[in-house]
Amino acid sequence: CYSSGFTILLESESVLTQNGISLISDIAVDWAGKNVYYGDTFTGSIYALTMNGKYRKTIVKNQNELQSLVIDMKRRSLLFSTWWRNGQANSRSAIHTVHMDGLELREYLGPDLTGARPWTLTIDHETDKLFFLDYYGIMDAGFIASIDLRIRKPTKTNVIQLKSGVISPLNFLAIYKDEVFYFDGRSSRQFITSFNSTTGRDLKTQWKPKDWIGIMDGVIAHPSRQPYVAASSCKECPQLCLLSPHIDATCYCGQGFSRGAGRTCTRDTKFSLVVSSGSLLEINTEHDSLPRRLPVKMSATTTDVHFNPVTRDIIFFDNSVKEIIKASSDGRLIKALINRGLEKARQFNVDFLNKAMYWISGDTLQVANLEGENQRTVIKAGMARVESYIIDGMSGIVRWPALITWKKKRALSNWELRSYLIGTGEALPATSINTALMRSLKFSPQHSIFIWINNNHMEFIHLNKTGGRANAVTILPKYRNEEINDIAILNEHLYYLQKTTKLVRTSLLDFSIHRDVATLPPSSRINLYDANQLYWRGEIKKLVSMDQEVTFREAVAQCKTAFGEEGEGTLAVIQDEDQNAEILERIRSKSLWIGYELTYNYQIWRWNDSSVRSSYENWAPGHPSFGIEYGPVTGNYEFAAIMNLDGKWKVAPAHKKFGYVCQLVKKTNQCLYGGGKDCSGMCVPRAGGFTCTCKDHLRLITGSKTECELDPCSKSSCRDGCTLTSSRETRCTCPPGMYLREKDQICTMVASFVIVATDNMIVEQSIGSEVPLTRTLFASYKYAISSIAVNVESKTVYFSDKLTNMVFALDLLTSKEKVMFSDHPVANSSGGIVDLTYDWVERRLIYVNNAMLATSDHHIYSRNIYDTADKRIMVTEQAVINSVWCHATRGYVYYTVADGTVKRLNVKEGSKPEVIFEKDHKIYGVTSRNSGKEIFLASEHAVLVADLDGDSPKVYHNYNGGQPSKPTIAAQDDTLYWVRADEYGDVVVAGSSTKVDQPLYHAQMVYSSSREYDHIVKIAIYDAEQQSSAPPVTEPHTSRTKVIVGSVVGIIVLVAMVIGILAIRRRFFRNSSYSFLVNRERATNEIDIANVTFDNPTYEPEDDDDYEGNRLVMPNIALSQIEDYNLDGDSFGADRI
**pLDDT over 90 (residue 799):** yes
State how far the Cα of 811 lies from the Cα of 402, in Å rounded to an integer: 50
Q: pLDDT digits over 487-525, tens only?
A: 888 777 888 888 767 888 888 877 878 888 777 766 767
Angle at 23 between CA 19 and CA 29, to 5 degrees: 70
**pLDDT over 90 (residue 218):** no
Rg of the chain (C-alpha set): 37
State how far the Cα of 307 lies from the Cα of 328, in Å rounded to an integer: 10
Torsion of CA 16, 18, 21, 27, to 10 degrees: 0
Identify the pLDDT of residue 1078: 47
Identify the pLDDT of residue 756: 92
Considering the chain, what percentage of its residues have pLDDT values greater than 70? 74
Do the beta carbons of residue 290 and residue 281 sit within 8 Å?
Answer: no
State how far the Cα of 585 lies from the Cα of 647, in Å rounded to an integer: 9
Give per-residue burial for 629-661: e unless 16+ CB within 10 Å, then b.
Answer: eeeeeeeeeebbbbbbeebbbbbbbbebebbbb
Identify the pLDDT of residue 358: 93
pLDDT bucket at 12, cuts 50 / 70 / 90: very low
What is the edge-to-edge ordering of all strands in the sheet holding 1121-1126?
Answer: 1098-1100, 1111-1116, 1121-1126, 1133-1136
pLDDT bucket at 562, cuts 50 / 70 / 90: confident
State how far the Cα of 254 lies from the Cα of 264, in Å rounded to an integer: 11
State how far the Cα of 658 lies from the Cα of 986, in Å rounded to an integer: 67
Average pLDDT, rounded, for the chain: 76
Average confidence (pLDDT) over 446-452: 82
pLDDT bucket at 800, cuts 50 / 70 / 90: very high
Of the two residues 1038 and 767, the one the predictor is more confident about is 767
State how far the Cα of 706 lies from the Cα of 690, in Å rounded to an integer: 10
Identify the pLDDT of residue 631: 47
Comparing CA positions, the residue from 208, 209, 204, 177 lying closest to residue 193 is 204
Q: By mean pLDDT, which of 330-344, 690-704, 944-958 is the weakest?
A: 330-344
State how far the Cα of 556 lies from the Cα of 611, in Å rounded to an integer: 15
**pLDDT over 80 (residue 528):** no
Comparing CA positions, the residue from 739, 736, 734, 735 lying closest to residue 750 is 739
State how far the Cα of 924 lies from the Cα of 787, in Å rounded to an integer: 13
pLDDT bucket at 8, cuts 50 / 70 / 90: very low
Do the beta carbons of residue 774 and residue 762 sit within 8 Å?
Answer: no
- CA 413 to chain centroid: 41
Comparing CA positions, the residue from 884, 882, 877 lying closest to residue 862 is 884
Comparing CA positions, the residue from 71, 75, 81 lying closest to residue 34 is 71
**pLDDT over 60 (residue 603):** yes
pLDDT bucket at 885, cuts 50 / 70 / 90: very high
Comparing CA positions, the residue from 436, 500, 501 lying closest to residue 472 is 436
Average confidence (pLDDT) over 627-648: 68
| Beta-bridge partners for 45 | 40
Comparing CA positions, the residue from 801, 811, 697, 809 lying closest to residue 759 is 801
Average confidence (pLDDT) over 433-459: 84
Angle at 347 between CA 344 and CA 349, to 5 degrees: 125
Identify the pLDDT of residue 1: 33
> What are the residues whose beta carbons fall under 8 Å from the beta carbon of 498, sequence distance 6 or more?
477, 478, 479, 482, 483, 484, 485, 504
Distances (CA, A) of 175 to 167, 205, 378, 733: 17, 15, 70, 66
pLDDT bucket at 185, cuts 50 / 70 / 90: low
Of the two residues 453 and 516, the one the predictor is more confident about is 453
State how far the Cα of 1051 lies from the Cα of 1044, in Å rounded to an integer: 11
Q: Collapsing DSSP states into helix, strand and coil, what is residue 617?
A: coil
Q: By mean pLDDT, which of 202-216, 306-320, 381-395, 950-964 is the weakest?
A: 202-216
Q: pLDDT digits over 348-393, tens only?
A: 999 887 888 999 998 899 999 888 888 888 888 888 888 889 888 7
pLDDT bucket at 540, cuts 50 / 70 / 90: low
The DSSP secondary-structure symbol of 556 reads: H
**pLDDT over 90 (residue 469):** no
State how far the Cα of 523 lies from the Cα of 471, in Å rounded to an integer: 31
What backbone phi and psi angles, to 5 degrees, belong to 1053? -60, -40
Of the two residues 137 and 842, the one the predictor is more confident about is 842
State how far the Cα of 550 lies from the Cα of 556, in Å rounded to an integer: 10
Average confidence (pLDDT) over 199-224: 72
pTM for the model? 0.57
What backbone phi and psi angles, to 5 degrees, belong to 425? 75, 10
**pLDDT over 60 (residue 312):** yes
State how far the Cα of 250 lies from the Cα of 243, in Å rounded to an integer: 6
pLDDT bucket at 13, cuts 50 / 70 / 90: very low
pLDDT bucket at 847, cuts 50 / 70 / 90: very high
**pLDDT over 80 (residue 859):** yes
Comparing CA positions, the residue from 289, 291, 287, 337 lying closest to residue 317 is 337
What is the edge-to-edge ordering of all strands in the sheet holding 45-50?
Answer: 24-30, 35-40, 45-50, 56-60
Which amino acid is residue 479, in one-letter code? Y
Comparing CA positions, the residue from 80, 86, 102, 137 lying closest to residue 244 is 102
Q: pLDDT digits over 988-1032, tens only?
A: 888 876 667 788 887 765 543 344 567 889 999 998 776 665 555
Identify the pLDDT of residue 165: 44
Q: pLDDT digits over 894-921, tens only?
A: 999 988 899 999 887 777 899 998 877 7
> What are the residues whose beta carbons fall under 8 Å from the beta carbon of 246, sequence distance 6 or more?
none
Going through 601-706 in order, the beta strands assigned E by DSSP cover 605-607, 639-643, 649-653, 658-667, 682-686, 689-693
Torsion of CA 651, 652, 657, 658, to 10 degrees: -10
